[in-house]
Amino acid sequence: MNSQVAETSIADRELMITRLINAAPEKVYRAWTEPALLKQWFAPAPWQVVSAETDVRPGGISMIAMRGPDGNELPNRGVYLEVVPNEKLVFTDAYTEAWVPSEKPFMTVILTFENEGGRTRYTARVRHFTVAVREAHERMGFYQGWGQCTTQLEKLVATL
């Protein structure tokens, strides 16, 4: 497969948010990896995080459960694929633990935390397994939800 075809197919399946956050990458990374901090910003209000568990290493689990205003809970299970402290996290819901495949993989997330003079160029790339899944995620409110969570993240890291 030539690289132009691969790039086009990735672009067709990717949603992305980037923002310059007024905090060091170490603080933004902590907010993504420490359960007590994740609980404070990860779900777009009025949703809330009711539990969070992380084992931040390649092959380690991530389990974050959110509860909606209607009381329904949405568990998000995944596995870390790549961990570069304070620089990059890659995780996917294609596995639920170790290398146990999930029943319905949805996405792989690539987070980068680039230092720009003590601030962080935060980029979240969300790659989906099909174009249809990417389109569904966009219709579900990806930009609004992830944007709101990023604003909540910014407010939290300003206090660390």
Task: Give the helix ranges, DSSP H, for 1-160.
Answer: 3-12, 25-33, 35-41, 131-139, 142-157
d(CA 145, CA 151): 10
Separation in Å, CA 78 to CA 17, 53, 94, 105, 107 = 20, 10, 7, 9, 10
d(CA 106, CA 102): 9
d(CA 56, CA 85): 9
What pLDDT does 1 receive? Answer: 46
Per-residue pLDDT of the chain (160 residues), as tens digits, is: 444 545 558 889 999 999 999 999 999 999 999 999 999 999 999 999 999 999 999 999 999 999 999 999 999 999 999 999 999 999 999 998 888 899 989 999 999 999 999 999 999 999 999 999 999 999 999 999 999 999 999 999 999 9
Instruction: Please report, for the chain, the start and end positions of each structural domain, with discontinuous segments joined by +.
Output: 22-157
User: Considering the entire predicted model, what is its pTM?
Assistant: 0.91
Secondary structure letter of residue 141 according to DSSP: T
Q: What architecture (CATH level 2) is domain 22-157? A: 2-Layer Sandwich (3.30)
